[in-house]
């Protein structure tokens, strides 16, 4: 039997992980991942209005894009050109009419930038790389930044039950949320899987509720809309 690759036993430090994230780039030939059956059905029927700004499908499409870019390519801070590449990919995927391509790319470019900005906000609490970027490049003018939700909650910790997570699990909070949202996009999502992921995501949901607006919370955690 062939010995396993010794590199698989190497444990990367936080600095190694942050360095990898810093060097992350989007491939020039990047393509949007496979969409859901429902999305593809509307595209095939040329019913592109279903993907207009502020629609449910638009939000789901942006979530698929964000999850793929941050998970597959570990890219949290795309350059302007990379945002533009993603916008062009979406326009191509939706088969937008040539007369609307230019405006659609501009709209998509801005929507994607705002999506990344919103999604990074709660990650400042649990992701060292995102937190460091925010501390270095975050805006400092205007009102002072609010104290971390974690710090604000410290004095209430005896009264409020928390699911204790190890540091390693905290690093996986984003993937837990992504997995939950991808499960919801399936035609027949598995309730047992969703319930398990919902429990695991308790801490990050709690932080988001403190930090984000209701609309942003519902976009990041669409399971809140489920009646079950």
Q: What confidence tens digit (pLDDT) does each residue in 114-164 have?
A: 999 888 777 655 555 555 556 665 555 444 545 444 444 444 434 433 434
For residues 51 and 109, state if they share a domain: yes
Burial 178-211 (b: 16+ CB within 10 A, else e): bbbbbbbbeeeeeeeebeebbebbebbbbbbeeb
**Lowest mean pLDDT across 53-67, 104-118, 119-133, 185-199:** 119-133
Which among 83, 102, 121 is the end of a domain?
121
Does residue 129 fall inside a structural domain? no
**Same domain, yes or no: 79 and 32:** yes
Positive or negative, the CA dihedral 180, 159, 211, 24 is negative
59 in a domain, yes or no?
yes
Please check whether residues 21 and 117 belong to one and the same domain: yes
Q: Token pair of 158, please? A: 């005896």
Of residues 204 and 159, the one with the higher pLDDT is 204
Judge whether residue 5 has pLDDT over 60.
no
Both 168 and 95 in one domain: the answer is no
Tally of domains within the chain: 2
Query: What is the reported pLDDT for 11?
Result: 39
Q: Is residue 75 part of a domain?
A: yes
Q: Which is more confidently placed, 36 or 158?
A: 36
For residues 218 and 181, membership in a common domain is answered with yes
Q: Any long-range contacts for 183-188 (C-beta under 8 Å, 24+ apart)?
A: 184/222, 184/223, 184/226, 185/36, 185/60, 185/64, 186/36, 187/36, 187/37, 187/38
Percent of the chain with pLDDT over 70: 67
My answer on whether 47 and 99 are in the same domain is yes
Radius of gyration of the chain (CA): 19
- What is the reported pLDDT for 132? 59
Residue 171 banded pLDDT, cuts 50, 70, 90: low
How far is the CA of 43 from the CAs of 46, 53, 125, in angstroms?
A: 5, 16, 38
Cβ-contact 61, 54 below 8 angstroms:
no
Checking if the pLDDT of 111 tops 90, the result is: yes
Confidence of residue 203 (pLDDT cuts 50, 70, 90): confident
Provide the 10 A C-beta neighbour count for residue 144: 6
DSSP code, position 34: P
Domain housing 80? 17-121
CA distance 218 to 225: 7
Q: Does the pLDDT of residue 113 top 60, yes or no?
A: yes
Does one domain contain both 26 and 91? yes
Q: What is the pLDDT of residues 49-58, one digit of tens each?
A: 999 888 889 9
């Amino acid at each position: 039997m062939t010995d396993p690759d010794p590199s698989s036993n190497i444990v990367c430090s936080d600095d190694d992980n942050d360095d990898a994230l810093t060097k992350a780039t989007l491939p020039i030939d990047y393509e949007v991942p496979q969409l859901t059956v429902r999305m593809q059905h509307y595209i095939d029927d040329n019913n592109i209005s279903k993907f207009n700004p502020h629609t449910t499908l638009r939000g789901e499409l942006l979530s698929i894009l964000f999850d793929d870019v941050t998970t597959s390519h570990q890219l949290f801070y795309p350059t302007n050109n990379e945002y533009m590449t993603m916008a062009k990919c979406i326009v191509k995927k939706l088969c937008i009419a040539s007369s609307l391509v230019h405006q659609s790319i501009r709209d998509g470019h801005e929507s994607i930038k705002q999506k990344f900005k919103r999604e990074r906000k709660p990650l400042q609490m649990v992701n060292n790389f995102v937190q460091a970027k925010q501390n270095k490049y975050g805006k400092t003018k205007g009102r002072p930044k609010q104290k971390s939700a974690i710090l604000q909650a410290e004095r209430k910790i005896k009264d409020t039950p928390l699911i204790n997570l190890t540091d390693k699990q905290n690093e996986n909070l984003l993937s837990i949320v992504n997995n939950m949202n991808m499960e919801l996009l399936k035609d027949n999502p598995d309730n047992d899987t969703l319930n398990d992921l919902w429990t695991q995501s308790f801490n990050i949901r709690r932080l988001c509720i403190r930090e984000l607006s209701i609309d942003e919370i519902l976009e990041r955690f669409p399971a809140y809309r489920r009646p079950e």
